[in-house]
Amino acid sequence: MNAITEAPSQAMPALRELILAQRDFHRIRDLIYRHAGIVLADHKREMVYGRLARRVRALQVDSFCDYVDRLEERPGDPEWEHFINALTTNLTSFFREPHHFPLLAQHFAGRRDRVRVWCAAASTGEEPYSIAITLREALGGQVPFEVVATDIDTDALARARQGVYRLDQLGKLEQERLHRNFLRGSGSMAGYARVRPEVAQHVSFSPLNLVSTRWPVEGQFDAIFTRNVMIYFDQSTQSRILERIAPLMKPDGLLFAGHSESFSYVSERFRLRGQTVYTLA
């Protein structure tokens, strides 16, 4: 009797050399919650595998279990930064949720004293630079202003500091606004643009973990943006963050939330002023 050997189908997925066991996924989920407040649902398991498998291979450890063991046994390990960066989602664009920016400009019309704005989820820089462009136009160069931009993801912040973007990322900007605020690249940088120094000088970037016991931000702000970061936290974490934000706002300050976020049932410190915009209660 002749043996029949069937060629493997090309449609069959390749076997993974790493296995993310349910127990290890739960340990990873607990670690990122404790250290960054991020809530990972069960359907995020494939995302976790894809993002952390690179770190497991880079460190040449044998398994996800060994990787998590390393993190738990070494609180000061530099790998913690890579771990948090890997599990942070950076979805942003210039002038995202555009209804907020005319309101921001209107709020500061006629101001004569210094303006300070905190962007608490700076990501790769599109949002804080959009804020700076809006303030530069609204204040007409007559009033000093500062945009404090923070994020937990240090890789994203490094890209933000460079201030270089593909031209297709700037598609929402009118040509005149693009010319006033960006320098087009040439040669090897063709197809890219850099934020002009006169815009970038108003924005400072620094790492900040919103669930950390200490925030490296001082003073009070005229406006705070927490857009599209609070959705990654559970309600108790959101409440604690909002309680800490309230003292950092001026009495007439504005708090900008993302379109999927609502703070009305999370904290009594704020009241709704407009579409996903809050003031102190």
In degrees and rounded to multiples of 5, residue 158 shows phi and psi of: -60, -40
Residue 111: Cβ within 10 Å count:
15
Q: Is 116 among the catalytic positions?
A: no
Sheet strands side by side (includes 164-166): 164-166, 192-195, 182-184
Catalytic: which of 24, 27, 29, 151?
151
One-letter amino acid at 260 equals S
**What are the two backbone dihedrals, phi and then psi, of residue 175, each rounded to the nearest 5 degrees?**
-60, -40
Beta strands 145-151 and 164-166 are: unpaired
Q: How far apart are CA 123 and CA 174, in angstroms?
A: 23
**Which of 51, 159, 161, 180 is flagged as catalytic?**
51
Rounded Cα–Cα distance for residues 247 and 127 (Å) = 23
Q: Which of 164, 99, 177, 100 is nearest to 126 (CA)?
A: 164
Active site residue 51: yes
| Residues known to be catalytic | 51, 151
